[in-house]
Structure 1
Amino acid sequence: MTSATERPFLFPDVDGPLIPFGSSSGHPQATVADASTSGGQGNPLLTRLDPQLGSRLTALGCHLVWATTWMEEANEVVSPRIGLPRLPVVEWPASCADEGPRGLHWKTHHLVEWANGRPFIWIDDEISAMDRLWVDASHCGPSLLHRVDPAKGLMDADFAALTDWLRLVIPR
């Protein structure tokens, strides 16, 4: 258990979890490459951002930190559209190759370093069983690696899972 003053980190990715790629919402199907190459304000996928996401993420009571290749651009473009203030940003090294066993996501090692033993939630659409195993073996605090369906983005069921985990980790 963690103390009530030690809020968990919440590391959200943007592409997939916040900007869904599927056509289930009535938008034409898109790819991660479409989102990353159209860039910032001109990105047509920004219309898929749910303006309520910021308040829902904030209501979880975690310390929010962007964990996305959007990096500082997430503060400039995404935060205002979903009602978040400027957030800290995980800075990714220029090269993340060979930083763990085969199948380990390139973000995993850096998020565990950032958390530095504190509880954390990582929300991404590319989390694998290898990431969970590695974090369980390498991180001394509680963690939830929550994979989001990139076709749908964060849904009510995802928020329920996050809330349930937080109830177990943080006594209220």
Structure 2
Amino acid sequence: MIDPDRPLLFLDVDGPLIPFGDPPPGGYPTYRSPYAPSGATPAGNPLIARVDPELGPRLLRLPAEPVWATTWLEDANECLAPWLGLPRLPVVDWPVDDTDTPDWPDGPDGLHWKTRALVEWADGRPFAWVDDEITEADDRWVTAHSPARTLLHRVDPRRGLTEADFTTLDTWLRTV
């Protein structure tokens, strides 16, 4: 249930939660989840083992209502939420075509295809958006079109969410 008095926290999966790209020296760390049955990898997806399960409790401690803002759609609740010890979260339902590809092209001047939909979904509520593809074009557009305070926070996809990211999010969310 969404609490209208709290800001929203839009969460992308690939990049912020599942690091990808050039691996660090020694490769990506992998984890076993204390929340998943027997620590098993949900749905047999080996990339989920890259997700530190301790991100779940940290996300829940942030003063915001988390919402999946990912092309994983409801799969984020089926596969990732149990791994992270999260409850079922609301999901931004993107229009997709038959190949599960978002049905919206990027906007003018590099505007991300998610940007307009997230402002619409927030419906005037303050929000933070965590993604690895956010650009200055998105920030400018959201500033011009959202009546509420917003934070567009770009995460390095090679590292995923870090301590510095959580500090930035927590500080901003507590000022809203």
- Please state how far the C-alpha of 1:76 moved relative to its aligned partner: 0.5
Paired residues of 2:9 and 2:127 also in contact (CA < 8 A) = yes
Matched, 1:23 2:23: yes
User: Partner residue of 2:138?
Assistant: 131
The 2-side partners of 1:106 and 1:24 are apart by 29
TM-score (norm 2): 0.82
Task: Measure, in 1, the Cα distance between the counterparts of 2:94 and 2:54.
Answer: 28
**Is the 8 Å Cα contact of residues 10 and 128 (structure 2) preserved in structure 1?**
yes
Secondary structure of the residue that 1:70 maps to in structure 2?
coil
Contact 2:63 2:174 (8 Å CA) reproduced: no
* Equivalent position of 1:110 in the other structure: 117
Distance 2:25 2:170 in 1: 24
Aligned-residue offset at 1:136 = 0.1
Preserved contact between residue 12 and residue 66 of structure 1 (Cα < 8 Å): yes
Say whether residues 1:57 and 2:64 are aligned partners.
no
* Stretches (4+) displaced over 3 A: none
* Whole-angstrom distance in 2 between the partners of 1:66 and 1:87: 7
Where does the alignment leave 5 or more consecutive residues of structure 1 unmatched? 29-39
1:153 matched to which residue of 2?
Answer: 160
Tell me by how many angstroms 1:25 deviates: 7.3
What's the TM-score, normalizing by structure 1?
0.84
Structure 2 gap segments, 5+ residues each: 29-41, 97-102
Shift of 1:83: 0.8
> Could you tell me which residue of structure 2 aligns to residue 47 of structure 1?
49
Residue identity (%): 59
> RMSD of the alignment, in Å?
1.9
Query: Counterparts of 1:145 and 1:132 in 2: how far apart (Å)?
Result: 6
2:8 equivalent to 1:9: yes
Structure 1 distance, partners of 2:71, 2:93, is 9
- Structure 1 contact 13–67 (Cα < 8 Å) conserved: yes
1: CA distance, partners of 2:27 / 2:19: 9
C-alpha contact 1:25 1:152 (8 A) present in aligned 2: no
Residue identity matched to 2:159: K
How many residue pairs were aligned?
155
